[in-house]
Structure 1
């Protein structure tokens, strides 16, 4: 557990730096273009490479030392940040150049997540999986917990380029932590890609899903869950920035994100519950909280309901991660995480593509004074700027609550993969399906 904690320190510091850049670029996009679509486009370029390259990153993390992959991913992502800083140095920054730098940085950062998640199984025993899931969430989500407050205070002082410099500097801490763990535990033993080579090796994650019906159902549910959460991520600034300043927006996001710590603590306290129970309970709480968040623009209300969203989301993540860890042989988990990340996080990509146009072009006109929905919903939610985005968050919350009901109804299937993984299996078992192309 000591070595995992050291890796998580590096992940936490790097997460704070990434959050500074994400907050600054989000404010830049909204202030420059004034639409939810502009914010969504920046987030899409930051996130799409991480999702689309996840299977390749997972395969590389199974083939090579996972700590080395983390070091290379975080360190080389600085190149993309440099491109963004050069673009912002122009008197009239072009959004296309900024997006190109964000995309390049994310391509390198894609190497990190599958390697970090698989390192959990390398460094701790099964009895610590739930606890480790909570710690991993707390570290990786520091970008939501600490970064908005820091960015809101620093942005008026150092500017967006200053935030980018701080982000780039965090890679030094990450590199030191990853290097220390490599020296202490040694290089992870790896084999060679056999058979038909890398392309077949990349299919290992898909095979892991194909032989576990419960795992396929879990991945489907979590894909829809990421769609609804992605809607909230895109639309929170368009909902609140018309009513609060940059510093207040940072404080609001930080207060809401304290729920991440509460969620991690709640996961630890409820660690004896079945993973499927954590999953359904978390989805229900997340959905109800999203519905409530969209009803008012009072900062304290949004902070409180946002806190609840993050708290219950922690239960969802811990339940899902534990089910996956119990279902997949740990020697092949990186490629499985890569494939699972690709599938589930397509929900985020869809949210980033759809949330802006839906809010700006479809729902916003309906929620303007005199709009078609103003008479029926205006009394409950209000009308005007940002209310179309708020209505979309409410609808996403309703869908998330429906997922909780579906999760509870399918708990036997969702938990089946984990049960099967602990029983003696003949083909087609996950390990058997992957063994032909093992590293």
Structure 2
């Protein structure tokens, strides 16, 4: 089925826009490479150190730079041609991926080297993501925005499925170096895609820039004063803190709880992607039936119980089944929160509002994956993660109680 025919379905309307399709396909190839590398790094660090704290710490380094750099990236993306800004950041990621590849093939790879490169890659990642989100927002009309955000999550999770599936046998046969090499090559796809997109014009009503820090402060004021954006940001942070660490800690779960290796970790990660893919197909119809707000409420309330069920799974098959459900619910919740921020933000401030969501997502994830990983070494994997899932359920209940009074969104 072609993109044009798919665009007639509610969940796939954004595929009716050529530039969006080009960026979507390029990003898919790049994300396949990224998830190959994520699995390889998680398995490498866990195997070398034997510590969940190290695995969580390395995963956190990729997102920790968001504290300072994401708002800067948002301000820069609202100033310059977003296509060229993304292209420059992708070239930097190519250099880092090639460096990692060279270290692996020359037998100089080490945990400290992985930590440094992960940190630098995190710096580039948080700079580019606000620009990428704002670019997507500008490629489709407002009525197709939720479809675009859902499909963006779909391609991200398709990469999560295909990447680990390719990485596991490659790790067994060729080692981490070949995984890193394919990741480096994959960045060229998104580079070609964004350069093929027509330039986006700055809105005529946009006020002139008063400097980077003034631009950042303006984005912060808009995010704080709009109750819908503010509650979405709070939800994003707590979701990242309590639930999102499952992304980086799956290798620990597979190796330390089930006593298995890369193949088991790959299977669990892939099931998250399958769940997210199924949700991406269905979300358009669910939005039409329930409305965006009700679907977001339901997904946030389900998130804690589903995450707890995953971490308490007694066997690998049960863990894979619960991960499928967790992947679906996680995709719906995160997409709903991101869409809420973007639909409320003025177009000229889209990247800056996105940057604050990225800060909270990445800082929450960095803190959560590191703290939960460190606690696992002392308390155990299941008690730590199940407790975090229950805490998020409490947060979701509070957010649901606050939303009608502060935001005034109808219940139906």
Q: Provide the residue aligned with 1:298 in structure 2.
A: 315
Q: Provide the residue aligned with 1:267 in structure 2.
A: 283
Instruction: Measure, in 1, the Cα distance between the counterparts of 2:336 and 2:121.
Output: 30
Q: Secondary structure of the residue that 1:341 maps to in structure 2? A: helix
Matched residue pairs, number? Answer: 390
Does residue 203 (structure 1) correspond to residue 217 (structure 2)? The answer is yes
Does residue 326 (structure 1) correspond to residue 343 (structure 2)? The answer is yes
Instruction: Measure, in 1, the Cα distance between the counterparts of 2:143 and 2:393.
Output: 30
Q: Provide the residue aligned with 2:303 in structure 1.
A: 286
Q: Provide the residue aligned with 1:105 in structure 2.
A: 121
Does residue 229 (structure 1) correspond to residue 221 (structure 2)? The answer is no
Q: Provide the residue aligned with 2:331 in structure 1.
A: 314
TM-score normalized with structure 2 length: 0.88
- Partners of 1:144 and 1:253 within 8 A in 2: yes
- Structure-2 change in CA distance of 1:51 and 1:9 (3 Å): farther
Does residue 188 (structure 1) correspond to residue 204 (structure 2)? The answer is no
Match of 2:390 among 378, 398, 402: 398
Shift of 1:51: 5.2
Q: Provide the residue aligned with 1:161 in structure 2.
A: 177
| Unmatched runs of 5 consecutive residues or more in structure 2 | 1-16
- Partners of 2:164 and 2:269 within 8 A in 1: yes
Match of 2:367 among 346, 350, 355: 350
Deviation track 1:8-61 (CA, whole Å, cap 9, x = no partner) reads: 111111111111111101000000011111111211122223454111111111
Does residue 5 (structure 1) correspond to residue 14 (structure 2)? The answer is no
Shift of 1:189: 4.1
Instruction: Measure, in 2, the Cα distance between the counterparts of 1:344 and 1:245.
Output: 29
Shift of 1:187: 5.2
Match of 1:218 among 232, 236, 252: 232
- Partners of 2:250 and 2:265 within 8 A in 1: no
Deviation track 1:92-136 (CA, whole Å, cap 9, x = no partner) reads: 633222211222223223333111211222111111111111101
| Structure number with higher relative contact order (C-alpha < 8 Å, ≥ 6 residues apart) | 2
Q: Provide the residue aligned with 1:240 in structure 2.
A: 254
Q: Superposition pairs for residues 62-211 of structure 1, below 5 Å?
A: 62-89=78-105, 91=107, 93-181=109-197, 185-186=198-199, 188-189=201-202, 194=208, 196-211=210-225
Larger radius of gyration: 1
Instruction: Measure, in 2, the Cα distance between the counterparts of 1:56 and 1:410.
Output: 31
